[in-house]
Amino acid sequence: MKDFISMLDSDRLFIENILSLSSFLKEKVKKGEIYRPLDGFTAALIFEKPSTRTRVSFDVGVYQLGGYGIYMDTKGSQLGRGEPIKDTARVLSRYVDLIVIRTFGQNRVEELAKYSQVPVINALTDEEHPCQVLADLFTIWEYKGRLEGLKVAYLGDGNNMCNSWLIGAAYMGMNFYAATPKGYEPMEFYVEKAKEIARDTGAEIVVTNDPVEAVKDADVVYTDVWASMGQEEEAEERRRIFMPYQVNSELVKHAKPDYLFMHCLPAHRGEEVTEEVIEGERSIVWDQAENRLHTQKALILKLVRKVRP
């Protein structure tokens, strides 16, 4: 595999290797051990959308591996002046060892990867967020010791997070229930792909409009913001439509007593999740956020070094 631009670029074995390598790298950090196998490595970090966790975790991750990250936004590059992305890909891949991009359309990442000579990582598009799902799977694995057979309830908008989660859950044999309002379901392409994968892995893939059905006996309750970047004008209408899908103390009563609460952040307290849930004892969002660093380091190593833990 040259690139990681979609969860569909992975499979069960790849994800299991990422989990193992992430654990190895996280332990190195905990022990304060320096591990820099990528001395002289360079990465172009293209951010056409604002970011906190993604930008910092990639920047720090590249540094911790011994490399150097070059941050680029649209204002500081020729992309902002209309240079075709295929031209940017051709030039950058003669300078750097890896390109990470956070952008809008999935087609931009695909075109970048098509014309790049070095690996390309999708750090978020409107359609997918695969790096976040790798971190999520790793976090659940840390807490539960397994992934197969666990039930994940996803509440809210069938957005890029939901699309990528469908595929990741299917590969790992997890039972994934997405509960969204009518008209806000995940893309049919990802639902069908997930069900196709699930036929081989035993995963259960369900898209429903009933939040209680999704949360019932769930091992993990997951949510995301109701209005993503670029949807700010819809925020008020979305708050009204999505309120029945709010993760609150009443809804999580339907989950297993030892359920885990997850959120990819940033969180809007009082909207998709209440304060008592995100700050409660079942919330693991801060470990989830930290693990972006470790899983992305593992991903970089897999792409540029083809290493095994």
State how far the Cα of 120 lies from the Cα of 112, in Å rounded to an integer: 7
Q: What is the pLDDT of residue 1?
A: 67
Q: What is the pLDDT of residue 309?
A: 44
303 is in an annotated binding site: no
Q: What is the pLDDT of residue 307?
A: 46
The pair of structure tokens assigned to 159 is 């957005």
From first to last of its 309 residues, the chain has per-residue pLDDT tens of 699 999 999 999 999 999 999 999 999 999 999 999 999 999 999 999 989 999 999 999 999 999 999 999 877 777 767 889 999 999 999 999 999 999 999 999 999 999 999 999 999 999 999 999 999 999 999 999 999 999 999 999 999 999 999 999 999 999 999 999 999 999 999 999 999 999 999 999 999 999 999 999 999 999 999 987 666 778 899 999 999 999 999 999 999 999 999 999 999 999 999 999 999 999 999 999 999 999 999 999 999 975 444
291 is in an annotated binding site: no
Q: What is the pLDDT of residue 230?
A: 65
Give me the domains of the chain, ranges plus CATH numbers: 7-129+290-303 (3.40.50.1370), 132-289 (3.40.50.1370)
Tell me the catalytic residues: 102, 129, 132, 224, 264, 292
246 is in an annotated binding site: no
Nearest to 128 by CA among 101, 149, 155, 151: 101
164 is in an annotated binding site: no
264 is in an annotated binding site: yes
